[in-house]
Structure 1
Amino acid sequence: MSKNLLFLFLLSGFISIGQTKKNSKLETYTSRKEIYQIKYNPDHWIKNTDSIDWDAQFHDKYNLVNAYFIEYDYFITDKNLKSTIQDEYKEFGKIKNLKIYKKKINDITVNYFECELDYNDILYKYQGFIYNGKGGSIQMQYGAQAEAIEPNQGIIDELNNGISIIQ
């Protein structure tokens, strides 16, 4: 019995060391207003250094899924959510199947959206959220060909869960 307890104690120690090393791989992006930070795993997400239209831009290691983050200097009201999202895509075509719902990410209640866009006969899926917080609104958005979203939903959720408010 005491050998089993000693074994379990040693095993749990090794597991905690492994988790510490795994978590130490995370890198952090801090928003320009220093209100938000995104912790991300560089084994899953690569941060682009030359983003022009967005504050931060990431893509998965296969370059199938793109993630975009922006911090606005104004608030996007619930009343204007649908039109704001539609306006972002209007130069590429009309979005369809737009769904907006409340979702909790790291104790932050956001307006999460999902939609589709047929662009040059290829179906793209987008999802993300808009949050009104300190200093204005933020938006995190993911986009890919429809076939790439579902198999990569785990790393999308991982990046979403990496966002937090700096206290």
Structure 2
Amino acid sequence: MSKKIFLLFLLSGYFAAAQTKNNPKLETYTSRKEIYEIKYNPQHWTKSPQTETWDVEFRDKYNLISAYFIEYDHFIPDKKLKSTIEEQYKEFGEIKNLKIYKKKVNSIEVNYFECELDYNDYLYKYQGFIYSGKGGSIQLQYGAQAEAIERNQKLIDELNNGISIIN
């Protein structure tokens, strides 16, 4: 009987340790207007301490993928989505294969976009979304060389699914 209790104690300790490893401590970024928050795993994403053009920037742990978030003080209408996205990349070159479609991201229906940019003979891929909601529009976008985006889509989805509206 004591051997069974000892074995049960060992197994319960093992399962408790396994649950701790699978449940990482998330950190939270709260937008400047305190309307949105992004919960992220600091083992996968590092929040940059400062940025000049975006509200916050994240980098994956290998520094291959950049994620940028901004909260606009105006609304971006659906008919201006394409021109808004094209304008953001114009200093780097012409974007190609721009696709914009509706998608649910953590229960928020957003205008998701994907595009490519040939810059200095490297193919870069960008994706992200624009959402017009309370207080204006927000944008979260990812950029990296094509290979990094393709190999790390689960990581991008993880950060996307961390965004929510604060009630």
TM-score norm. by structure 2 comes to 0.89
Report the residue type matching 1:85 in the other structure: I
Partner of 1:117: 117
Report the residue type matching 1:154 in the other structure: K
Report the residue type matching 1:100 in the other structure: I
Identity score, percent: 75
Q: CA, structure 1 residues 78+144, in 2 after alignment: closer, same or farther (shift >3 Å)?
A: same
Partner of 2:107: 107
Partner of 1:153: 153
Partner of 2:44: 44
Q: Distance in 2 between matches of 1:64 and 1:103?
A: 25
Mark the runs of 5 or more structure 1 residues left unpaired by the alignment.
Answer: none
Q: How does 1:7-86 map to 2 (within 5 A)?
A: 15=15, 18-19=18-19, 22-86=22-86
Q: Distance in 1 between matches of 2:73 and 2:25?
A: 32
Q: CA deviation at 1:110?
A: 0.2
Report the residue type matching 1:160 in the other structure: N
CA contact (8 A) 2:48 2:59 kept: yes
Q: CA, structure 1 residues 20+35, in 2 after alignment: closer, same or farther (shift >3 Å)?
A: farther
Write the deviation string for residues 100-153 of structure 1: whole angstroms up to 9, x where unpaired: 000001110000000000011111000000000100000000000011111111
Q: Distance in 2 between matches of 1:21 and 1:166?
A: 28
Q: Distance in 2 between matches of 1:18 and 1:79?
A: 49
Partner of 2:141: 141
Report the residue type matching 2:45 in the other structure: W
Which structure 1 residue ranges, 4+ long, deviate > 6 Å from structure 2? Answer: none
The 3-state SS of whatever aligns with 1:25 is coil
Q: Distance in 1 between matches of 2:40 and 2:46?
A: 9
Q: How does 1:84-99 map to 2 (within 5 A)?
A: 84-99=84-99
The 3-state SS of whatever aligns with 1:59 is strand
Mark the runs of 5 or more structure 2 residues left unpaired by the alignment.
Answer: none
Partner of 1:162: 162
Q: CA deviation at 1:21?
A: 5.9
CA RMSD of aligned residues (A): 1.9
Q: Distance in 2 between matches of 1:106 and 1:19?
A: 23
The 3-state SS of whatever aligns with 2:149 is helix
Q: CA, structure 1 residues 14+111, in 2 after alignment: closer, same or farther (shift >3 Å)?
A: farther
The 3-state SS of whatever aligns with 2:154 is helix
